[in-house]
């Protein structure tokens, strides 16, 4: 069983109701037999509220601003239905016992609540069999995921008030295929997770010259009732090979569950369930990592039918999964870890699992949940052979064999909290990318897109080596402005900034809109080590 590379498309934050079509690559049938597809949709709401109390007495105003976001595929149907909802409350005293006379949304009888944020997500597994013959997922072209958003709002307060609401909604849709290879000869269980470890969650952007990465050691842990503990043992790094620079540990888990509920009330109602399975791997130092898989389920029920059997008009039983999600990765460079992973024996890493769930429904409800999780843990070593040890840090133009560190010093390792690094490729026009902390973007010729929430301070980086390869960059980068420049800056209605970065080099040109909470300059990118450049 194999899992394909994650595809991801984004719809930028947009005010009002909207609809969009996002193209995704079909599964190429020449590469294997498609088993199922995993769609993950994340919706985000960013709203503001201006409130004025028009009454002669104090008032408390409660409000919610959200969006109903739906995603569907022609020939399959709905793959997501989510409703992010930003909520807020304001207590407004009366001004000298009466309304202050002006609807200006300022004190004492008014207030402005900016940056009301919320997000919601849904993961849907689509089996090929449920898509029918001629599935739109299979082929050598593309298919569209159609996404719509409609705004909703609720305000509760006194009988005399003025409220001005603004909202913007955005969405990100990702897709992965699970398939059997042509040589498999038979169809594996949908719960097979042995191939998950082939996804390396660590992005390569800073290296020691001539470093070598060992083949990952992979331990598979079978799925069982969540709450189990285990030990994963790995061969230590052989110190005769060279100097150990870093250890890459990755983990991925699955979620399989059942959810059953019976409405015992005298009126029908909606029953919902959200749950997450966690798998944590402990390491000798201060690190460690946790992989997680979320899912949700819901159904409508009628009034109690008199039989508590999780079936019939008032009950339902659903089997969910197995579901996968993005693996977690950690890159270990502190002395405690380097010492513990070095030697001629084995090192054992404790593994623990846990699950959470939230159920909502009518006041009289009987619900039952079961949850299982399993997964893989892998370890590989990055080391410098004694015969090729160098102290230089290489940027881009040389091609080392392995990543070593994130945006902090490769010698000291990351300081403070660290998000597992990820890597994205941008070439040609893209509707937009929603950045994660500690993410590197490989920029190719023709790239034209918006990178949302880009933050050099959060170790987000742009790899420009392909575009600037062959450019005569000065050692002190005094001529960098001839190739990299900010061509425009503007703020949006909610106070965020868009900075347009233009890159023109021997390898081609690119235009990137960097969206963030502040304007970004080329100096900001350099001082925060957010540009990866050819060796100069």
Q: Which residues share a beta bridge with 301?
A: 269
CA–CA separation, 523 and 39 (whole Å): 39
190 forms beta bridges with none
Count of beta carbons in the 10 Å neighbourhood of residue 426? 20
Strand partners, 171: 11, 43
CA distance 534 to 532: 7
CA distance 420 to 379: 15
Among 262, 260, 261, 266, CA closest to 303: 266
H helix count then E strand count, the chain:
4, 31
- Average pLDDT of 387-400? 36
Q: Assign 3-class secondary structure to 384-453.
A: EEHHHCCCCEECCCCCCCCCCCCCCCCCCCCCCCCCCCEEEEECCECCCEECCCCEEEEECCCCEEEEEC
Nearest to 439 by CA among 25, 4, 8, 2: 8
DSSP designation for 465: H
221: left (phi over 0), alpha (psi -120 to 50) or beta: beta
Three-state DSSP class for residue 113: strand
- Give per-residue pLDDT as tens, 239-282: 998 889 888 888 888 889 888 888 988 888 888 888 888 999 99
pLDDT of 536 higher than 90: no
pLDDT greater at residue 77 or residue 439: 77
Residue-level length of the chain: 536
**Cα angle value 356/360/362 (rounded, 5°):** 150
pLDDT of 327 > 80? The answer is no
Least confident of 200-204, 293-297, 303-307: 200-204
Gyration radius of the chain over CA positions: 26
Residue 183 pLDDT > 70: no
pLDDT score at 340: 95
Q: Please name the helix (run of DSSP H) or strand (run of DSSP E) that holds residue 224, with its range, or none.
A: strand 217-225
pLDDT value at residue 412: 29
Q: State the pLDDT confidence band at 392, using cuts at 50, 70 and 90.
A: very low
User: What is the reported pLDDT for 489?
Assistant: 87
Average pLDDT for residues 136-149, to the nearest whole number?
A: 92
Integer Cα distance of 356 and 239 in angstroms: 42
Q: Is pLDDT larger for residue 216 or for residue 403?
A: 216
In sequence order, what DSSP letters do the residues of 517-528 get, joined into one string? SS---HHHHHHT
So what's the pLDDT on residue 298?
87
User: Which region, left, alpha or beta, applies to residue 108 given φ > 0 means left and ψ of -120 to 50 means alpha?
Assistant: alpha
Query: Tell me, what's the pLDDT at 182?
Result: 56
Question: Could you read off the pLDDT of 405-416 as tens digits, one per residue?
Answer: 222 222 223 333
What's the pLDDT at 336?
93
Task: Round the average pLDDT of the chain to a whole number and report it.
Answer: 77
CA distances from 514 to 97, 456, 520 (A): 48, 10, 8
The pLDDT of residue 115 is above 90: no
**Is the pLDDT at 12 greater than 80, yes or no?**
yes
Q: Which is more confidently placed, 313 or 130? A: 313
The reported pLDDT for the residue numbered 429 is: 54
* Residue (of 324, 336, 326) closest to 250 by Cα position: 326
Inter-residue contact 34 to 137 (CB < 8 Å): yes
CA 225 to chain centre: 26
When pLDDT is cut at 50, 70 and 90, the band that residue 161 belongs to is low
- pLDDT tens-digit profile of 168-177? 889 989 888 8
Residue with the two structure tokens 């699992």: 353
Asked whether residue 201 carries a pLDDT value surpassing 70, the answer given is: no
Is pLDDT at 533 greater than 80 in this prediction? Answer: yes
d(CA 456, CA 75): 42
**What share of the chain has pLDDT > 70, as a percent?**
78
Distances (CA, A) of 212 to 203, 243, 254, 399: 15, 10, 31, 11
User: Residue 170's CB: how many other CB atoms inside 10 A?
Assistant: 24
8 Å CB contact between 28 and 43: no
Is 129's pLDDT higher than 60?
no
- Residue 510 token pair: 């690119």
pLDDT higher than 80, residue 425: no
Choice among 107-111, 243-247, 291-295, 500-504 with the minimum mean pLDDT = 107-111
CA distance 152 to 70: 14
416: number of Cβ within 10 Å: 5
What pLDDT is attached to residue 312? Answer: 95
Asked if 223 and 254 count as a contact pair (C-beta separation under 8 A), the reply is yes
Asked if 225 contacts 372 with a C-beta cutoff of 8 angstroms, the reply is: yes
Asked whether residue 471 carries a pLDDT value surpassing 70, the answer given is yes
pLDDT in tens, 328-381: 778 888 889 999 999 999 999 999 998 888 888 888 888 888 898 998 898 888
In this predicted model, which residue has the larger pLDDT, 324 or 390? 324
Contact 82, 122 (CB under 8 A): yes
* pLDDT tens, position by position, 21-30: 999 988 888 8
More confident residue, 348 or 108: 348
Q: Is the per-residue pLDDT at 459 higher than 90?
A: no
What is the pTM (predicted TM-score) of this model?
A: 0.42
Coil, helix or strand for 232? strand
- The C-alpha atoms of residue 113 and residue 110 are separated, in whole angstroms, by 10
Q: Domain spans of the chain?
A: 2-180, 198-384, 421-532
> What is the distance between the alpha carbons of residues 340 and 237, in angstroms, rounded to a whole number?
9
d(CA 504, CA 446) in angstroms, rounded, equals 10
| Digit-coded pLDDT (tens) for 52-94 | 776 667 878 888 888 899 999 998 899 999 999 988 888 887 7
153 forms beta bridges with 65
């Amino acid at each position: 069983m194999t899992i394909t590379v994650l595809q991801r498309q984004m719809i930028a934050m947009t005010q009002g109701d909207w609809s969009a079509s996002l193209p995704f690559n079909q599964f190429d049938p020449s590469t294997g037999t498609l088993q199922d597809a995993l769609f993950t949709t994340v919706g985000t709401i960013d709203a503001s509220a201006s409130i004025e109390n028009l009454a002669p007495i104090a008032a408390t105003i409660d409000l919610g601003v959200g969006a109903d976001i739906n995603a569907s595929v022609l020939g399959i149907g709905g793959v997501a239905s989510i409703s992010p909802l930003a909520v807020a409350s304001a207590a407004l005293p009366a001004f000298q016992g009466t309304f202050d006379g002006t609807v200006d949304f300022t004190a004492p009888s008014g207030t402005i609540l900016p940056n009301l944020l919320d997000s919601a997500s849904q993961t849907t597994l689509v089996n090929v069999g449920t898509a029918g013959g001629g599935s739109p997922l299979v082929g050598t072209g593309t298919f569209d995921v159609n996404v719509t958003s409609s705004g909703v709002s609720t305000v509760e307060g006194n009988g005399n008030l003025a409220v001005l609401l603004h909202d913007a909604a955005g969405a990100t849709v990702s897709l992965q295929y699970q398939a059997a290879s042509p040589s498999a000869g038979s169809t594996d269980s949908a719960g097979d997770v042995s191939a998950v470890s082939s996804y390396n969650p660590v992005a390569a952007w800073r290296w020691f010259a001539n470093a070598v990465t060992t083949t990952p050691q992979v331990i598979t842990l079978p799925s069982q009732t969540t709450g189990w503990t285990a030990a994963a043992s790995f061969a230590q790094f052989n110190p005769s090979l060279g100097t150990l620079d870093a250890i890459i540990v990755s983990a991925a888990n699955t979620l399989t569950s059942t959810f059953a509920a019976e409405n015992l009330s005298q009126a029908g109602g909606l029953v919902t369930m959200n749950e997450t399975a966690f798998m944590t791997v402990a390491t000798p130092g201060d690190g460690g990592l946790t992989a997680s898989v979320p899912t949700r389920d819901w159904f409508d029920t009628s009034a109690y039918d008199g039989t508590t059997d999780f079936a019939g008009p008032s009950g339902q039983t659903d089997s969910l999964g197995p579901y996968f999600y993005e693996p977690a990765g950690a890159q270990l460079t502190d002395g405690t870890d380097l010492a513990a992973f070095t030697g001629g024996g084995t090192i054992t890493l404790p593994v623990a699992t846990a699950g959470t769930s939230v159920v909502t429904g009518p006041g009289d409800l009987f619900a039952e949940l079961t949850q299982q999780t399993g997964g893989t843990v892998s370890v590989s070593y990055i080391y410098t052979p004694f015969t090729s040890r160098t102290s230089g840090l290489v940027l881009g133009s040389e091609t080392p064999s392995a990543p070593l560190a994130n945006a902090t010093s490769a010698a000291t390792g990351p300081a403070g909290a660290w998000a597992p690094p990820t890597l994205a490729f941008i070439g040609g026009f893209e509707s937009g990318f929603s950045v994660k902390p500690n993410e590197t973007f490989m920029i190719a010729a023709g790239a034209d897109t918006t990178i949302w929430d880009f933050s050099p301070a959060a170790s987000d980086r742009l790899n420009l080596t392909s575009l600037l390869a062959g450019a005569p960059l000065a050692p002190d980068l005094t001529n960098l402005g001839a190739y990299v420049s900010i061509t425009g800056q503007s703020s949006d209605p909610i106070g965020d900034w868009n900075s347009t970065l233009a890159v023109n080099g021997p390898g081609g040109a690119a235009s990137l809109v960097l969206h963030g909470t502040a304007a970004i300059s080329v100096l900001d990118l350099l001082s925060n080590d957010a540009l990866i450049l050819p060796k100069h």
